[in-house]
Amino acid sequence: MTHPTASARTAGPSAAERAYRHLKRAILEQVYPGGQLISEGEIAEAAGVSRTPVREALLRLEAEGLVALYPKRGALIRPVSTREITDVIEARRLVELHAAERVWPRRAEIRADLARWLDEMRQAHAAGDVTALMAADRAFHATVVEAAGNEILAELYQRLRDRQLRMGEASFRLSPGWADVVLAEHAGQLAALDGDDMQAWLDAVGAHVDNAATVLRTLR
């Protein structure tokens, strides 16, 4: 029986994975804005890989709806439309409310994790660390979705949040007062989870998503 060598065990991500991560991050952070056409060579140079792994990365991103491929020309970064915002928010609302209802009978199991993420959000806000605040906020939501036990919906949810990030989520999160509102809404969700009224919990979850949708639409 053979065993993996130390170098194999510690090997980093493949060239295709590095190209995928680089390009996806650049798209989500709007380094490559919607409507821009980029070549395989440009991506390969920026990611420090050859063109072959770039092609693999582009196929993954096309499947995720982030780019449109044009043979011999490159990849078009799909622009965000008003319709996409509506569709993403609607899908996110469906997933989160479904998950919230599913976890209600077992809410005690996730209560500690949600409280911990809320505490991390408060600490990040106090430190002025927007990146950490956004990460903790996303983890708060993902905890509920993942606890529902449907891996396909959990994966879909992460993709929806990625697409929401591309819609300008980072921009509105820098707006004055945003963090205070989100912290208050999450605290309200936690309070509802501690009660015995499932509808109050579902209403708190739905209202939070709806408020995010309202702000996103003002950015268009």
Give CA 90 to chain center in angstroms: 15
pLDDT, one tens digit per residue, over 14-47 is: 999 999 999 998 888 778 888 999 999 999 998 8
Residue 34 and residue 79 in contact, taking contact as beta carbons nearer than 8 Å:
yes
Q: What is the pLDDT of residue 95?
A: 97
pLDDT tens-digit map of 83-142: 888 898 999 999 999 999 999 999 999 999 999 999 999 999 999 888 888 889 999 999
Give the pLDDT confidence of 159-204 residue by residue, as tens digits: 898 888 777 665 555 566 888 889 999 999 999 999 999 999 999 9
Residue ranges of the alpha helices (H) in 68-177? 82-103, 108-127, 130-147, 151-164, 170-173
Q: How far is the C-alpha of 19 from the C-alpha of 31, rounded, in Å?
A: 15
Parallel, antiparallel, or unpaired for β 67-70 and 74-77? antiparallel
Give percent above pLDDT 70 in the chain. 90
6 has pLDDT over 50: no
pLDDT band, very low/low/confident/very high, at 9 (cuts 50, 70, 90): very low
